[in-house]
Structure 1
Amino acid sequence: MAWTTPARRCLGTPVEASPVLSGRTATVRSMRFGITILPEYRWSEAAPKWRRAEDLGFDHAWTYDHLTWGGLQDSPWYGTTPTLTAAALVTSTIKLGTFVTSPNFRHPLTLTRDVLALDDISNGRFLCGIGSGGGIDSSILGGDDLTPRQKVDRLEEFVELLDKLLTTDKVDYKGEYFETRNGRTLPGCVQQPRVPFIMAANGPRSLRLATRYGAGWVTTGLKSDDFDTWFGSVRDLSHRLDDVLEGRSFDRYLALDSARYSLSSVDAFEDVVGRAAELGFTDVITHWPRAEGVYAGTEDTLERVVAEVIPRWGG
């Protein structure tokens, strides 16, 4: 599948570009590119990766916000906030985000302090990815298992309160899952009125919540080992978002690596980026290649993608 676009792009609002797909021309937005660096490395090894992500021209870089991730339960694992703080200190332009923060082990008030610090230390480069939470994090601290409906109820409280805390001082709030009493939240965010929320959502309620509070929507699609089945789920979820938006524009982030690793080859990366563009995605996110196991790949492929593919999408 061959795609061609004018080589132009900015770090802010995407500009228009015209890829050619199978002999027909379709106008789409220029794509922004992100990369996720898992918090599994000692900082002496991680720091060069964060610097390199910026040097390669990625628009945003992310790390997981988990106590334990099911894909690497036996791997070393470091804290999200210290990792992003250190990343902010070794970079200067790339946006930095959580992929994604959830209510599983976060309270909005304590999270507010981390968000304020990350936003300040990065000089307004922090993005707060938010989702309802699942996986091992949902049970590792004990407590009752929540139904899907209860998880969305909790997410709604979490986002509503976090929004209040990041925009208001002296917050009193009492919900079923979270409470604050005179929550003090000075000095406020560098980014005004607050840091952007990039929200993960699948169902109608969570999608409406995402479009109410979010600056963008992020999806990994539904779990499947078959690429076509997985991408079909991405298409369906994107159409659900269309229904909620009713014609309004909204940034859309696609995590590329759920069914197959997008950096397994240059062609694989270009193929999935082209598919994402057809659905109106404004941003795509891959993972830094690991030596083995999940997301196994080479930095040579990463650098070829940066040199050969991303410029055709405006990079």
Structure 2
Amino acid sequence: MRYGICILPEHPWREAEPLWRAAEQRGFDHAWTYDHLVWAGLPDSPWHSTVATLTAAAMVTETIQLGTYVASPNFRHPVTFTRDVVTLDDISHGRVLLGLGAGGDRDAQIQGLELSRGQRTRRFAEFVDLLDRTLSTDHIDHDGEFFTAVDARNLPGCVQRPRVPFVIAANGPKAIALAARQGEGWLTTGAPRASGERSSDRVEGWWQGIAEVCDRFSEAVADAVEQGDRDAEDVPDRYLSLDASGTTALSSAGFFADQVGRARELGFTDVVTHWPRPSDPYRADPAVLDRIALEP
């Protein structure tokens, strides 16, 4: 098992820097931050640039992988984003993990964009495909439904070859199939949880949904292998967002250990939790970090 922690980009760097250093010192394998213009979960919170934050984090760490949680086409264009990713991979000496997802609607709405669910699904697939090409190949032309590229350059290319790893966030069938075909990793938050339930019931229901989505992903990977879209030995890593049940995984050391154990039983290779915050979401006592064990 590998462990990740997500640090929201809400802090001025003088406060955020010690958190990124501590994430590496505490033995986390990867650290992430959200990639939004505004996050609907904290719409009135201060919010900083994702790429700038990860660049600064790369300068104060040495080994921990650094990731977007997750970048989306709601305000990213593959051609311009390629420049950011290539540069970040260079500055971090090849430590970038590129979390990608369809995202929510808020960032697009800020720019006056309104898309149907079908359009968002098609746009995400086109975004992933074009980003794959622009990060791994020089001189790219593309004329698609949502994006255009004319002789796009990627020099010098990523430090990681042929490109940085894609960790594709997916819960629905089409996104799961995309992750199975093109992801080095798959990230899930599970099915939407019902409201009005007791916390323990909600968590149990969430785990049932996680088991079901795991089965769907296994089937999608098998289909991708059968169709020749990936090699049978090239199995994507599986990332679970541990806080998506509605109960913060770091609410106690015992609860964290239990959630990690359940993720391991379902075949997850990686889990991600959030740095404790003093208020919701992800409310927890930072002292819990001193009591958890990051066991392989």
TM over 0.5, shorter chain? yes
Q: Which amino acid is the alignment partner of residue 215 of structure 2?
A: H
Distance 2:106 2:125 in 1: 21
Match of 1:121 among 65, 79, 91: 91
1:181 maps to 2:161: no
| 2:171/2:189 contact within 8 Å kept | no
1: CA distance, partners of 2:12 / 2:173: 40
Alignment of 1:257-272 (within 5 A): 257-258=243-244, 259-272=246-259
8 Å contact kept, 2:181–2:221: no
C-alpha separation between the residues in 2 aligned to 1:265 and 1:55?
Answer: 20
Between the aligned partners of 2:258 and 2:109, the Cα distance in structure 1 is 37
Shift of 1:144: 2.3
Q: How does 1:63-212 map to 2 (within 5 A)?
A: 63-147=33-117, 149-212=118-181
Deviations 1:85-121 (Å, cap 9, x if unpaired)? 0000000000000000000000000100010011000
Helix, strand or coil for the counterpart of 1:72?
coil
Q: Which amino acid aligns with 1:255?
A: S
SS of equivalent to 2:67: strand
Q: CA deviation at 1:143?
A: 2.1
Q: 1:243 aligns with which of 207, 212, 219?
A: 219
Q: CA deviation at 1:205?
A: 2.2
Secondary structure at 1:71's aligned position in 2?
A: coil
1-structure distance, mates of 2:141, 2:236? 31
**1:268 to 1:42, Cα distance in 2 relative to 1, 3 A:** same
- The match for 2:242 among 247, 252, 256 is 256
Shift of 1:232: 1.6
Name structure 1 gaps, 5 residues minimum.
1-30
- Match for residue 45 of structure 1? 15
Offset at residue 146 of structure 1 (A): 2.1
Quick one: which amino acid aligns to residue 33 of structure 2?
T
Unmatched tracts of structure 2, length 5 or more = 196-201, 226-231
Deviation at 1:250, TM superposition (A): 2.4
- 3-state SS, counterpart of residue 171 of structure 2: coil
* Preserved contact between residue 289 and residue 298 of structure 1 (Cα < 8 Å): yes
Aligned to 2:282: 295
The two structures, once aligned, show a CA RMSD in angstroms of 1.3
1:135 Cα deviation (Å)? 3.9
Which letter does structure 2 place at the counterpart of 1:243?
A: E
By how many angstroms is 1:230 displaced? 1.7
Which piece of structure 1 moves more, 235-244 or 80-89?
235-244
Match of 2:229 in 1: none
Structure 2 CA distance for aligned equivalents of residues 50 and 143 of structure 1 = 34
Larger relative contact order (Cα-Cα within 8 Å, sequence gap ≥ 6): 1
What is the TM-score when the length of structure 2 is the normalising length? 0.91
Amino acid at match of 2:184: A
Q: Contact 2:74/2:105 (CA < 8 Å) preserved in 1?
A: no
Query: 2:100·2:167 contact (CA, 8 Å) conserved in 1?
Result: yes
Tell me the alpha carbon deviations over residues 215-245 of structure 1, each in whole angstroms, 9 at most, x when there is no partner. 1100111222521222222111111001112
SS for the counterpart of 1:86 is helix
**What is the count of residue pairs matched by the alignment?**
278
1:105 and 1:130 mapped to 2: Cα distance? Answer: 12
Task: Tell me if the contact between 2:93 and 2:159 (Cα under 8 Å) persists in the aligned partners.
Answer: yes
**Contact 1:172 1:181 (8 Å CA) reproduced:** yes
Contact 1:69–1:135 at 8 Å: present in 2 too? no
Cα distance between partner residues in 2 of 1:219 and 1:231:
12
Counterpart AA for 1:62: W
Structure-1-length-normalised TM-score: 0.86
User: Secondary structure at 1:257's aligned position in 2?
Assistant: helix
- Per-residue deviation, 1:77: 0.6
